[in-house]
Each structure stands twice: as C-alpha cells, then as structure tokens.
Amino acid sequence: MITAIDRKEHIEVVYLLYNYKHNKHQVFNVILDFDNLEIDSVIGIYKSADWYERELSEMFGIKIKGRKIKRLLLEEWNGTTYPLRKDYVWGSTYKVR
C-alpha cells in the first residue's frame, strides 16, 4: 500500500510492505518538500503500485519519475491545488468520471 499525508509543512509518502510468507510488514516514510514533489516509481519492483502511484499523482500532485500518468480519477481539473491536500478549497468544481 502506498499513500501520502499532507503535514502542512511537507508531504509524507508512506509505503506499507507486507510479506505473506513470513507474516512480516515494514513501513517506509519519505518526506517531500512542496518545492520538489517528485518521487521515483516503484512499479518495476511492485506491479501493484500502479494505482497507488496514480492516486499520489492525481490527488496530491506528486510527480512520479519515469512515468507518464494519464488522469483516470479526475476527468477535468480546474482547481489550483489537489483534493487530498490541506490547502484544497472544498466546493471547487471538477468533473469525476
């Protein structure tokens, strides 16, 4: 699982990895400054990361290095920020597929 958290002063990307064979999990946190919202893709290692990376891109505005992500969740985006960030103004108009 991959998600992000807007901490106001930075964005924290959280990776939760689970090993079914050994029943172990590991959590990794990556801190991103708002000046440089870019992170490497992990899709080469974890194919299931595709949708999670799409969410990071569309909902938080994080660029995923090495990937061109076409919008799937937000058809048209008029806002000046992204829906899962704290500076998002509720009531902004956009179309959802």
pLDDT, tens only, 44-70: 999 989 999 999 988 898 999 988 877
Q: Kind and range of the H or E element at 54?
A: helix 49-60
Give the total number of structural domains in the chain.
Answer: 1
Neighbouring residues of 21: CB distance < 8 A, sequence distance ≥ 6 = none
Neighbouring residues of 26: CB distance < 8 A, sequence distance ≥ 6 = 16, 17
- 96 has pLDDT over 60: no
Q: Which domain holds residue 92?
A: 2-96
Q: What is the pLDDT of residue 63?
A: 93
- Alpha carbon distance 26, 15 (integer Å): 8
Q: What is the CATH number of the domain that holds 56?
A: 3.30.460.80
Question: What letter would DSSP give residue 22?
Answer: T
Q: What is the pLDDT of residue 93?
A: 56
- 3 has pLDDT over 70: yes
